[in-house]
Chain A
Amino acid sequence: MKKSMLSTKQSYLVCAIGVVALFGILMGVCESGLVNAYIKGIMMTCCIAIIMTTSLNLTIGVLGQLTLGCCGFEAIGAYSAALMSKLLVANGVAMDPTLRFLLTTLVGGVVACVFGVLVGIPALRLHGDYLAIITLGFGEIIRVIIQNLKVAGGMGLDKGAAGQALIGIDRLANLYVVFWITVVTVVLLFMFARSRYGRAVKAIRDDEIAANASGINITYMKVLVFAISAFFAGIAGGIFAQYIGSLNPAMAGWLQSINYVIMVVFGGMGSLTGSIVSAIGLTILPELLRAFSSYRMLVYSVALVLIMIFRPQGIFGNWEFSLTKVINKIFYPVKVREHGKPKQDGADGKSEKAVKSGKSAKEADKTAGKATKTKEAQA
């Protein structure tokens, strides 16, 4: 039976080819001058939104804890990366721009991760609404702290002014590099979600007491997920800082975080591919609606309401798109059905399904690509 279907390794290969093909298309349209800075900017925004949404989905969808502080971490990452970049320039460190971009973005991620651990340890003792309120408060604290930091305003560092927007950040973000950062992020998140740790996290989501009874260290797991989520939010922030070139403390506010929570819920909680699709969709939608000018936010809101009425579980629910599954379905239609059936051992169906779908690690990128392609088609 196994022979006639794609093996795990083969499916990895298929996905890798898919991602590379997607990158080829991206490069093709960029190099040939088919797309202008506007489209490139939207693609960049999409990549940032994908990183934010998928990493947030790890906390909200996989761990099942509602947090509203993701933009606090994004802001920490953004400011750390921006100030690090300025520090390198101020000290006259000559560096390849791409290397500097990668280094500063990584610094942003690490600093955000440290804060994630610090916030996570006390905050994750709480559940549900209480955690949401704590994280909401955290975002506000970050905003106020940044606002009062002299080094984080104006031109930054010693020329800084408290409360001003941080300006003059070198705009080093490069679409190709950001594309690969996005791919790596999604792959890592998928691998985490389907690993031993990921299964433990899902067990916590489904029944905390049972998970605890089976020997899972709940606090450790929660903080781990929170820290990973914060790390990637910091990475997204680092990219954002070096794409936009100026930062405002308001970016840490809860309204921004709500935006990403919407994307996660919209795409389907627990589905990383769903997050990717909704991140791209909800980034492009307001741009497509520009033609409606003043009605555009109305149309956007109506679209959100309609989706929530007719598909309350989100576009993808907790189903993952998988290129391998599609190929199997096309070439081995009967086998798939046989293969799929006996696996349900009566365990918790929900988490079981989610674990299995984790197989499609790299397929996610493929979906990311699909949507990017659509985007380009619109151009």
Chain B
Amino acid sequence: MNAKFSAKCVALIAAGAMSMSLAACSGGSMDDSSSSNGSAANSDTITLGSVTTNSGTAAAYGEAEVAGFKLAVDEINAKGGINGKKVKLESMDDKGDATEASNAFNKLAGDNSVLGVVGPTISSTTAAVAPLADQSKLPAIAPAATSDSIETGGYMFRTCFKDSYQGEIAAKFAAETLKVKKVAVLYGTGDPYSSGVGKAFAAAAKKAGLDVVAEENSSSADDTEYSSQLQKIQAAGAEFLYAPYYYSVAGPYIIPQARSVGYKGYVMGPDGYDGLKMTDDKSLYNKVLYTTHYSPDDTSNAKVQDFIKSYKKANKNADPNTFTALGYDSVYMMKQAIEKAGKNATRESVRNAIAGMSFEGVTGNFTLDKKGSPKKSVIVLELKDGKPQYKTTIQPSK
């Protein structure tokens, strides 16, 4: 065969194939809305999908959520299911990775019997799944993804309050319950959680008429040395310090260092204080408060004790944690929505039922706002000799 001729052939075929691929762009597009109008009306089971982080660094969160899902599904089935149909849980792991979460969600979206999804676990995977939920019209409720940026206003909802909301609630608590005047805030600028909550607190505190005497920050949320910032805060005469950090930093570093520069006022944090790591001197941790989703000592909510009782019964006396409670509530939200959508529930009708729903659960009573985040009551815990004690429940401002 003539070499020139072969070369021309190759060029021609390649050019042809490429132009073909451009012309046929629509076919290769990742949209796949054709298979999305699934209805589970004909089968006698309802399938709920779950995408959670069961391996990797955040595995403990995902495992706790799945325990909550399972408990709720078992309870629902024991009471006759939803609209007379048994509920089946299709559980998927995402390793805490956005690509894996998308694959898992797509797999569920391709299965027409799946009416709704609970999950994903963490904010970064939820951010990846949110546009997919809108695209495949499959409603999803994330139990504990608190980041502000996952809101789409479409098919993505959540059970937990969002980060900035915690900051607002803390400002309200400082102004109305503690009745302090001079407040300070310290946060890590590099961390979405820390900076998001901290900035929201500062804005809300100013609005509530509090005097923000110091607004300090660290470059990341895992620094270990905060003395210079804390000295400024102490010098400014703050009575209340809001320090949104994780349990592994606030416990061993921020609080002891604050006490050692002579600061005696309140220290408050968000739900990242859950499981605070403490140094030996527990007296340093008095006047430390934090907001959270759920407390086993919450006496104002009757559902909490029932939930703890049935969880202990099903799990060899183990204690449920916040993620279990949020997961449990997420499944019940799905149940309420599917019941409202009726016997011929479709993904779209379930979505419409979730949007704006009012719900009473273990983690509080709430109504979902337009963007799918709840305005809900927040629990405040106070440490007494290193043990978290239920302090109060703050209702959302109307």
Contacts and interface: CB of A to CB of B under 8 A. Distances in A.
Interface of A: 7, 9-10, 12-13, 16-17, 19-20, 23, 27, 30-31, 33, 36-38, 40-42, 44-45, 97-98, 144, 147-148, 153-155, 161-165, 167-168, 171, 173-180, 240, 243-246, 248, 250-251, 286-287, 290, 293-294, 296-297
A154 B123 CA distance: 12
Contacts of A290: 92-93, 104, 107
A180 B103 contact: no
B18 interface: yes
B121 interface: no
Contacts of B6: 7, 9-10, 12-13
A289 to B, nearest CB: 10
A52 B196 CA distance: 33
B24 interface: yes
A1 B106 CA distance: 54
Contacts of A175: 28-30
For chain A, what secondary structure do more than half of its interface residues adopt (helix, strand, loop), or is it mixed? helix
Interface in B1-35: 1, 3, 6-7, 9-10, 13-14, 16-18, 20-22, 24-25, 27-32, 34-35
Nearest to A296: B93
B76 interface: no
Q: Lowest 10 CB-CB distances: which A-B pairs, in order? A: A37-B32, A176-B28, A175-B28, A163-B192, A36-B110, A38-B106, A176-B21, A246-B127, A9-B6, A248-B124
12 contacts: A12-B6, A17-B13, A20-B13, A37-B136, A38-B107, A44-B30, A161-B148, A176-B24, A179-B21, A246-B124, A248-B127, A294-B93
Contact of B191 (A13, A31, A97, A163): A163
A10 B3 CA distance: 8
Interface of B: 1, 3, 6-7, 9-10, 13-14, 16-18, 20-22, 24-25, 27-32, 34-35, 54-55, 91-93, 95, 98-100, 102-104, 106-107, 109-110, 123-124, 127-128, 130-132, 135-136, 147-150, 189-192, 194-196, 219-220
A140 to B, nearest CB: 11
A42 B102 CA distance: 9
A147 B190 contact: yes
Given A10-B1, A16-B10, A167-B150, A148 B123 contact: no
Contacts of A296: 55, 93
A37 B195 CA distance: 36
B124 A7 contact: no
A16 B22 contact: no
A98 B100 CA distance: 25
Contacts of A12: 6-7, 10
A174 B149 contact: no
Contact of B103 (A7, A162, A287): A287
A17 B9 CA distance: 10
A248 B120 CA distance: 15
A38 B103 contact: yes
A341 to B, nearest CB: 26
B91 A293 contact: yes
Contacts of A244: 98-99, 102, 128
A305 B230 CA distance: 49
Contact of B190 (A148, A167, A173): A148
A8 to B, nearest CB: 8
Contacts of A33: 34
A164 B149 contact: yes
A180 B21 contact: yes
Contacts of A40: 28, 30, 32
Given A36-B110, A174-B29, A144 B192 contact: no
B28 A174 contact: yes
A153 B127 CA distance: 12
B267 to A, nearest CB: 22
Contacts of A45: 99, 103
A343 B7 CA distance: 26
A163 B190 contact: yes
A240 to B, nearest CB: 8
A176 B103 contact: no
Contacts of A38: 103, 106-107, 109-110
Contacts of A20: 13-14, 16-17
Nearest to A290: B92
B354 to A, nearest CB: 21
A164 B199 CA distance: 13
Nearest to B29: A174
Contacts of B16: 20
B107 to A, nearest CB: 4
Given A9-B7, A40-B30, A147-B190, A27 B195 contact: no
Contacts of B7: 9, 12
